[in-house]
Chains A and B, each alone.
Chain A
Amino acid sequence: MPPITEHVVLRDNDVPNIADLDVYIKHEGYEALRIAVTEKTPADVINVVKEAGLRGRGGAGFPTGVKWGFLPKDVYPRYLCCNADESEPGTFNNHQIIDRNPHQLIEGVALAAYAIECQTAFIYIRGEFAAGALRLEKAIADATARGYLGKNAFGTGVNINIVVSRGAGAYICGEETALMESLEGKMGQPRLKPPFPAIAGLYSKPTIVNNVETLANVPRIVLKGAEWYRKNGTEKSPGTKVFSVSGHVRKPGNYEVQFGTTMRELIYDYAGGMREDRKVKIIVPGGASAAWLTEASIDVAMDYESLAAAGTMLGSGGVIILDETVSAVELAYKMDEFFKHESCGKCTPCREGTHYLVKTLHRLNHGGAQKNDIAKLHDIYNQMAGNCFCLLGESAVVPIRTALKLFPHEFEEALAKSSARHAIPLTLAH
């Protein structure tokens, strides 16, 4: 795919200092919001987002305009939650959107709030983004002082109140129902669905949850139109996507490219190729929850459909590239250590399953392995798969299953080596 001619989200690449309100305004900032509240109906805004084909960037790729249309008629208040809990290993695009182009996110939140007729929108931001939270609060205060937000946006009587709310360290709070639990002042444990948030979400009211990058796309769509937006990307995955590229590439970072750009282009044309010209060994295309690929799949196109066809997913857009210095057994251990650490403890298959995965993988990596440990790993993930209460537990199955499938010989070798060594105790973080 050819490079984009203009950034849609990471516009600081084209407009230096766009985080500054005056600079943002000079470059069409808050124009979309002004036009929407003064000249368009909420339905108009929903329609253009639908026509643009904007898909949610939080992981599932669900069409945003369609989601907004699910709200039951005449039930108020309604809530919007912007999901800024970004904690998926290898993913850092939301974080840098907040740092680099905060007003475009705020404008996107305001537009979504207007579109769904919600008067109080929350930005639920992970507790670790303490500076990000202050930055967003400042951006909101600045925009409110100009009369763009607040009780009387652009003098129209439209009320757009945006509240930044910090989490306090829990990956699971990025799951939309856990997010709402947390916002209600409880432990962040997922709720049973249905009811879906659109019907009964925050405070049991109709609620829309959208990712930071999703909402940051909205101002440009509303201002420039669906056709303009669709100039980038593919028919089914329109627009651009900010991929977070990390690991053993020379220039790790966020790259905004057209959907459909290949993995090879991402690694070699954008991220500078592999450090020390080593070979690519493992590609994790969409955060820790996405099945791994190897160099054989390097020409896969980075869009929802192509990655699904390759047996994995676009997920969070966190692309982790690892070279041949990395052991698959060690990587599976580290990834399942993450899921174990973040398991909320609500259901047994995930709570116990991740615990036993980590214990077994630790033995394989560090000594004291037992001869049936590989069979045991298969056994554990098979018992978890399909039985977990939410997607976190199901995701924990992915690294170990994919590692065993792609690199069975490494597990055999690790077993042989580890059995010959003494066990070292595993100290598990809480």
Chain B
Amino acid sequence: MSLRQQHGAEIDAILARYPQKKSAILALLYVAQDTYGRLTDESIREVATIIDVPPTHVFEVVGFYTLLYDENVGKVVLQVCDDVPCAFCGAEQLVSTLESKLGIQCDQTTPDGMFTLQRVKCLADCNRAPLLQANLDYYRNLDTTEKVDDLLTQLRERIAKNDRISISGRLAEI
């Protein structure tokens, strides 16, 4: 089924927000990557058709923005802030705890396809370091292994129930 067939109403609502269709590109790519788990070549071409631009333009945009994934990622993308000040407030510890709990390094996905782990730059929440985003929901003050365990358990339960799983954050917790 095409993106349009699956999300026609949402796509029309997105297009209606902008004076020019092209402006809808990021919002549509978010819908596409949530639908297919990542931005497949096919889905990128679909978005190009919807906003009436050459596919090369959309490929270029996908390559530019870090929250657009054209490679496989897990159901949940974990993004640990390792910027200043977090780097000096426990971020490195958090990264290594996650690497050992998940058995992967940064920029890898667990073999079961559940989690992708990444380092990212300042998430504008520096007073609650160390922290991460999981599918763009914030989890703050993760300064003990227990807190990390709890977080992973909670996320695994959500994945099992398919509860608000959106790598684009379209279903983020308000």
Contacts and interface: CB of A to CB of B under 8 A. Distances in A.
B19 A168 contact: no
A326 B85 CA distance: 11
18 contacts: A89-B85, A91-B124, A127-B67, A128-B169, A131-B138, A131-B172, A165-B23, A165-B26, A168-B26, A169-B65, A185-B53, A246-B126, A246-B127, A248-B88, A284-B84, A335-B84, A341-B121, A429-B119
A27 interface: no
Nearest to A172: B64
What 9 pairs between A and B have smallest CB-CB spacing? A130-B169, A169-B66, A185-B22, A168-B65, A130-B172, A252-B127, A169-B67, A246-B126, A130-B136
B152 to A, nearest CB: 20
B67 A322 contact: no
A244 B64 CA distance: 29
Nearest to B60: A187
B174 A131 contact: yes
A247 interface: yes
A130 B168 contact: yes
Given A247-B89, A326-B88, A338 B168 contact: no
A391 interface: no
Nearest to B66: A169
Given A171-B121, A252-B127, A163 B85 contact: no
A135 B174 CA distance: 6
Interface string B30-74: 100000000000000000000101000100110011111000000
Interface of B: 17-20, 22-27, 29-30, 51, 53, 57, 60-61, 64-68, 83-85, 87-89, 107, 119-129, 133, 136-138, 168-170, 172-174
B136 A322 contact: no
A376 interface: no
Contacts of A430: 66
Q: Which secondary structure dominates chain B's binding surface?
A: loop
Interface string A164-176: 0111111100000
A334 B83 contact: yes
Contact of A331 (B51, B66, B84, B89): B84
A344 B17 CA distance: 27
Contacts of B22: 184-186
A309 to B, nearest CB: 25
B139 to A, nearest CB: 12
Nearest to B29: A168
Nearest to A135: B174
Given A92-B126, A244-B126, 17 more contacts: A90-B122, A90-B126, A95-B125, A128-B67, A128-B124, A130-B137, A165-B18, A165-B26, A169-B65, A169-B67, A170-B66, A185-B23, A185-B53, A203-B19, A246-B126, A252-B128, A325-B88
Contacts of A183: 23
A239 to B, nearest CB: 22
Interface string A149-164: 0000000000000010
